[in-house]
Every structure is written in structure tokens, then in C-alpha cells.
């Protein structure tokens, strides 16, 4: 069950924490599971900066619907920034330094993305996070992401930091085994989730996006996942 706490000036470290020297005060942090923390609205103060970053990235590396190894077209449109980008095609899933559509390196990771992710990871107890990859997912109404695990990164000791922008979504959070029961977690604009520790390899997905309009993104949800892939 999720437990909520408000971090005060001298918080007790969360149970899964690596032991941060400093934890941000005033962060509304919910422990979803050991190693998984939601920082509600953590990204909201810089949402316009993040939106502009996504615009700059997609001008160089447009959103595209990738193919799964099984030959399905993903409902979620994706692009990447940073030294490595996650790609899927008939040959499989992998991280690649070049955008397969252009043959060019992925756009640079914006400093605002990097700094936000490092700050969120630290607030959740992961003091040495150094992202080198950022997958950018775009959901339009009806788009969903089926239950999966993120296992293409080298070091599962590094967390994944996810940032939600725009329309709200219902996130499905399961367990180590695909058949484990799932909990439904609403994720709203500005929410940041840090996935590490035992939760790092848990199954998860996103239910079909509901119709709506958001002032910053229109009829879309954008999710950034910052990773140390290489």
C-alpha cells in the first residue's frame, strides 16, 4: 500500500535510500513500493522549459511509431535525446547512439532535463545518478503501453526517472513476475517518479489515454524517462 509523507527539513531517509547527504525539503513524496517514489508535481515549476526542450528535440528527431520485434506498430510515438536512444524494430530492442531515421546522433540531453532528473533521483535516495539517455514518449487519446519491463540498460542499480507532462494517465504497476497483481496509479502533469531498487525490474504499463485538453500540450501526454543506459 502506498504510504505518504511530507519531507520536512530533517527527514528520516526512506527505507530503500542509498543514504543521501541532502534531501530536498517540501517535496510531496509517496512510496509506491520499495525503491519506487512519486514526487508529485516536482517538475511543474519548469514545465514550460521542459515543453520547449521537447519541441527542440522533435525538430531534429521527430516522433515516430516504432515496430516491435513481433511486427506490431507501437501506439506510443517515441523519440530520444542524449548519447543513447532506445529503439525497437524487427531485429529487437536496444540502445543506439544514432537515430535510425536520420543516421545522425540523437539531439543532446537538455541541461534542464539532466538537472531535474539528478535532483529527483537524489530526493528519492539515489545520489549518484548520471543519465545518458532520455526516451520521450507521446500519447494521444487511445494510446496505451502494454505491460513490460525495462531491461535493456546495463546497470539495474541505476534508477529510471520518469516525468509526466500534459494529460493525466493511469499507470499500471505490477511486480517482478508478469502475473503479479497490478496497482493503478494516476500520474498527472508535473509528476516525477523514481524507479530503483527492487522496483527497477517490475512490470509496468500505461492504460489507454482518455480524451482531454491540456494547456501546455493540447490533447497529448508526454513522458520523459531518463536513464543510465550505457
- Binding residues for ligand MD3, per CB under 6 A? 135, 137, 145, 150, 160, 162, 193, 195, 199-200, 202, 204, 206, 223, 225
Looking at beta carbons only, is 23 or 86 nearer to ligand MD3? 86
Residue 88 phi, psi dihedral angles, 5° rounding? -135, 140
Smallest gap from Cβ 13 to Fe ion, in A, equals 26
The option from ligand MD3, Fe ion, none interacting with 217 (CB < 5 to 8 A, set by class) reads: none
For 128, the grid coordinates are: 549518484
**Rounded to 5°, angle at Cα 164 from 159 and 179:** 60
Residue 117 phi, psi dihedral angles, 5° rounding? -65, -40
Told to check if 153 binds Fe ion by CB under 5 A, we report no
Looking at beta carbons only, is 39 or 135 nearer to ligand MD3? 135
Applying CB under 5 A, which of residues 17, 80, 84, 150 lies at the interface with Fe ion? Answer: 150
Smallest gap from Cβ 173 to ligand MD3, in A, equals 7
**Rounded to 5°, angle at Cα 196 from 195 and 199:** 80
Smallest gap from Cβ 225 to Fe ion, in A, equals 7
Question: Which residue's C-beta sits nearest to ligand MD3?
Answer: 223
Looking at beta carbons only, is 37 or 162 nearer to ligand MD3? 162
Pairing of strands 145-148, 183-187: unpaired
Compute the radius of gyration of the chain from its Cα atoms: 17
Distance (Å, whole) CA 124 – CA 111? 20
Amino acid at each position: 500500500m502506498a504510504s505518504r509523507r511530507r519531507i520536512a527539513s530533517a527527514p528520516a531517509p526512506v527505507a530503500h535510500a542509498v543514504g543521501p547527504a541532502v534531501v530536498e525539503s517540501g517535496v510531496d513524496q509517496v512510496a509506491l513500493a520499495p525503491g519506487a517514489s512519486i514526487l508529485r508535481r516536482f517538475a511543474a515549476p519548469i514545465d514550460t522549459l521542459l515543453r520547449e526542450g521537447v519541441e527542440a528535440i522533435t525538430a531534429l528527431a521527430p516522433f515516430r511509431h516504432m515496430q516491435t520485434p513481433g511486427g506490431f506498430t507501437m501506439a506510443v510515438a517515441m523519440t530520444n535525446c542524449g548519447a543513447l536512444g532506445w529503439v525497437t524494430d524487427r531485429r529487437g530492442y536496444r540502445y543506439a547512439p544514432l537515430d535510425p531515421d536520420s543516421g545522425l546522433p540523437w539531439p543532446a540531453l537538455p541541461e534542464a532535463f539532466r538537472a531535474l532528473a539528478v535532483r529527483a533521483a537524489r530526493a528519492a535516495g539515489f545520489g549518484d545518478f548520471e543519465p545518458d539517455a532520455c526516451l520521450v514518449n507521446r500519447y494521444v487519446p487511445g494510446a496505451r503501453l502494454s505491460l513490460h519491463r525495462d531491461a535493456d540498460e546495463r546497470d539495474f542499480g541505476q534508477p529510471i526517472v520518469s516525468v509526466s507532462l500534459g494529460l493525466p494517465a493511469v499507470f499500471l504497476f505490477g511486480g517482478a513476475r508478469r502475473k503479479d497483481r497490478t496497482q493503478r496509479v494516476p500520474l498527472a502533469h508535473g509528476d516525477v517518479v523514481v524507479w530503483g531498487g527492487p522496483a527497477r525490474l517490475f512490470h509496468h504499463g500505461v492504460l489507454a489515454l482518455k480524451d482531454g485538453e491540456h494547456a501546455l500540450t493540447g490533447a497529448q501526454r508526454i513522458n520523459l524517462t531518463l536513464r543510465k543506459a550505457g
